[in-house]
Amino acid sequence: MKSLRLFLPVVLVSFATLAFAQSDQQKPEAQKSEAQKSFEKLKSLAGSWEGRLSVVPNDAQFDGKLVQLTLRVTSMGNALMHEMRVADRPDDPITMLYLDGDRLLLTHYCDAGNRPRMVGKVSPDGKSVEFDFLDIAGSTEYGHMHHAVFTMTDADHHTEDWTFMEGDKPVHARFDLQRTK
């Protein structure tokens, strides 16, 4: 009986957490904020992706390299984890996308040793979500990510455009991706 008294509150809290986490997903489309709509659009990218990287200005170390991405909905639907691998690179930068109140935020855990945050908004045509720099934690000595755009072409194709700032010099990276799973 004593174990039942301990078990029952855990079960009730679990159900309450599940109901709270799903409440935004069950709202009618008309009641969702722009941030919620953008986040739902991005979550549709969950899966494995592959493509080529192009860099401007051209950088032989990266240009044309094979890129593999995994996007995974996690935390009971409250976050989207973006994990990237570039051929011949030991790094594995992680980006988390999530809602913070009525804002869509992105935090990039950069191999430059910092964590820029960006605020997202959907484009007027609804095909892209663009992220603008908000703030940064950590040093910018080795540069930082400053801007990102996710553009959905169709269910199996999307592009990502990322801008990295090296001092005051922007470096633009474009990923043309095709779904593999």
Q: Say what the pLDDT of residue 91 is.
A: 73
Give the CATH number of the domain where residue 164 resides: 2.40.128.20
Q: What pTM does this model have?
A: 0.82
Domains identified in the chain, total number: 1
In a domain, 120, yes or no: yes
Helix (H, G, I), strand (E, B) or coil at 51: strand
Range of the domain at 68: 34-179
CA pair distance 141, 89, nearest whole angstrom: 21
Q: How far is CA 86 from CA 64, 120, 171, in A?
A: 10, 24, 16
**Does residue 57 have a cis peptide bond before it, meaning omega lies within 30 degrees of 0?**
yes
In a domain, 10, yes or no: no
In a domain, 157, yes or no: yes
In a domain, 3, yes or no: no
Residue 83: partners with Cβ closer than 8 Å, 6 or more residues away: 69, 70, 71, 72, 92, 93, 94, 95
In a domain, 130, yes or no: yes
Stretches in the chain below the pLDDT threshold 50 = 4, 6-23
* 116-147 pLDDT per residue, tens: 999 999 999 999 999 999 999 999 999 999 99
In a domain, 103, yes or no: yes
In a domain, 55, yes or no: yes
DSSP secondary-structure letter at 30?
G
In a domain, 135, yes or no: yes
- HEC profile of 118-171: EEEEECCCCCEEEEEEEEEECCCCCCEEEEEEEEEEECCEEEEEEEEEECCEEE
Tokens, residue 76: 């009971």
